[in-house]
C-alpha cells in the first residue's frame, strides 16, 4: 500500500509558540447568549478572521487567522462576540458569525517539529491497517469520537482520506469527549 503523508501548513495561523495544555473541559455551564455549553470547540468559518482584544470592532485587532476550518475553543460570550482560544493558547474575541459548529481538530500541535508522522488507521485499533501518515498540525474534520478514538476525514485533492486516530493526539476534542 502506498502511504501518503498528508501535510497542512497551519503553523503560521495557530498564532503562538506556547503549546496549550489539553485538559478536560471545565463545566462553566451554558453561555448566557447562546445557551450552549462553555467551554466548547468550534472552527473558523472563513480564511480571514480578526482576533480582537475585546468584544467590539472598536478594539484593536491582535491577530488575523488565515485558515478556514481551524479549531478554536469558545470560552466566553458577550452579545454577538465569542472569546476564543487557539491550539497555541492565543486568546481574543471574534464575531460569532465567523465561527462554525463544524468540529475539526489539529494533529498534535504541541509536538516539536520535525516530529514523526502519526498513523491514521482503518479502524479503532493500533493493529489496523494504516491508511495515511499525518504530520503534526494537519487539520482534520472530526466525524465521531468514542472510547478514546476519533474518526477523521482529511480533505485531499481527488479524494478524502477517512480513518481513526487516538483522541489524545488531537487538539479540538476534549479527553474522553463523545462526538456523534
Q: Where are the domains of the chain?
A: 24-101, 107-171
Please report, in angstroms and rounded to a whole number, the separation of the first and last CA atoms in the chain: 30
Which fold, 107-171?
SH3 type barrels. (2.30.30)
Q: Do the Cβ atoms of 109 and 70 come closer than 8 Å?
A: no
Q: Do the Cβ atoms of 52 and 59 come closer than 8 Å?
A: yes
107-171: same fold as 24-101?
Answer: yes
Task: Output DSSP code: residue 137.
Answer: T
Matching CATH number, 24-101, of 1.10.760.10, 3.40.190.10, 2.30.30.40, 3.40.50.720? 2.30.30.40
Residues of the chain with pLDDT under 70: 1-28, 113
Element (H, E) at 12: helix 11-14
CB atoms within 10 A of CB 32: 11
Q: Do the Cβ atoms of 99 and 160 come closer than 8 Å?
A: no
Backbone dihedral region of 89: left (phi > 0), alpha (psi from -120 to 50 degrees) or beta?
left
Helix or strand or coil: residue 14?
A: helix
Report the distance separating Cα 167 and Cα 124, nearest Å.
10
pLDDT at 28: 66
CB atoms within 10 A of CB 121: 18
pLDDT at 26: 63
Amino acid at each position: 500500500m502506498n502511504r501518503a503523508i498528508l501535510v497542512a501548513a497551519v503553523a503560521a495561523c495557530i498564532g503562538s509558540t506556547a503549546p496549550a495544555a489539553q485538559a478536560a473541559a471545565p463545566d462553566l455551564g451554558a453561555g448566557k447568549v447562546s445557551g450552549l455549553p462553555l467551554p466548547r470547540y468550534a472552527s473558523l468559518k472563513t480564511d480571514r478572521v480578526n482576533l480582537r482584544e475585546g468584544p467590539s470592532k472598536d478594539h484593536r485587532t491582535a491577530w488575523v487567522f488565515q485558515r478556514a476550518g481551524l479549531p478554536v475553543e469558545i470560552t466566553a460570550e458577550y452579545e454577538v462576540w465569542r472569546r476564543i482560544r487557539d491550539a497555541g493558547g492565543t486568546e481574543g474575541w471574534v464575531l460569532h458569525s465567523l465561527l462554525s459548529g463544524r468540529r475539526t481538530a489539529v494533529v498534535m500541535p504541541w509536538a516539536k517539529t520535525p516530529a514523526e508522522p502519526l498513523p491514521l488507521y482503518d479502524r479503532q485499533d493500533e493493529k489496523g491497517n494504516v491508511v495515511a501518515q499525518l504530520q503534526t498540525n494537519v487539520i482534520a474534520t472530526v466525524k465521531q469520537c468514542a472510547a478514546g478514538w476519533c474518526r477523521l476525514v482529511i480533505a485531499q485533492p481527488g479524494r478524502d482520506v477517512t480513518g481513526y486516530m487516538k483522541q489524545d493526539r488531537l487538539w479540538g476534542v476534549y479527553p474522553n469527549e463523545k462526538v456523534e
